Structure 1
Amino acid sequence: MARMIVLGSTFLGNHLWTSLSVLSGMIVLISSLADRGRSRRKNIEAVGFMPWTAITVFAVLSAVISAALAIKGA
């Protein structure tokens, strides 16, 4: 009950799933651009350590689920 009162009094609490969907969408955009940059790199040996493809996939999944919950009104 206390959690509902705290979340209910903030903007994020009123629009939790919408905010999460927008945040996930921004992560998708950033990780897609980073993955494109990695695939078009000049030095083929400089791969990097971030799994941009996996980050993109999980961010898209999160964005779709949170958008569905925002539309549903959960």
Structure 2
Amino acid sequence: MEWFEKFLWQDHFWTAVSLLSAGLVMISSFADRRRHRRADINNVGFVPWTFITVFSVIGTVLSAALALKGL
């Protein structure tokens, strides 16, 4: 189990963060697109999908840059 912890946290932490953030970008983009195409104009919802999309894109770019740099 020690090799797994060393492998995951030391070498590939920013890669994993980047992939998770990219997944969040895809989910929030789909949800934002769905919200903009809703049939009932008054049924807005309470989750700010655009805000989540923008900040997860920023997080993806920053964590991918750190993963490529090798931190």
Verify: 1:69 aligned to 2:45, yes or no: no
Alignment of 1:43-58 (within 5 A): 43-58=40-55
If asked which structure has higher relative contact order (CA below 8 Å, sep 6+), I would say: 2
| Fraction of identical pairs, as percent | 54
Runs of 4 or more above 4 Å deviation: none
Verify: 1:30 aligned to 2:27, yes or no: yes
Match of 2:11 in 1: 14
What's the Cα RMSD here?
A: 1.8
- Conserved 8 A contact 1:12-1:19: no
Q: Equivalents in 2 of 1:42, 1:30: separation in Å?
A: 20
Number of aligned residues: 69
For structure 1, the residue ranges without an aligned partner over 5 or more in a row are: 1-7
Alpha-carbon offset, residue 11 of structure 1: 1.8
TM-score by length of 2: 0.89
Verify: 1:40 aligned to 2:37, yes or no: yes
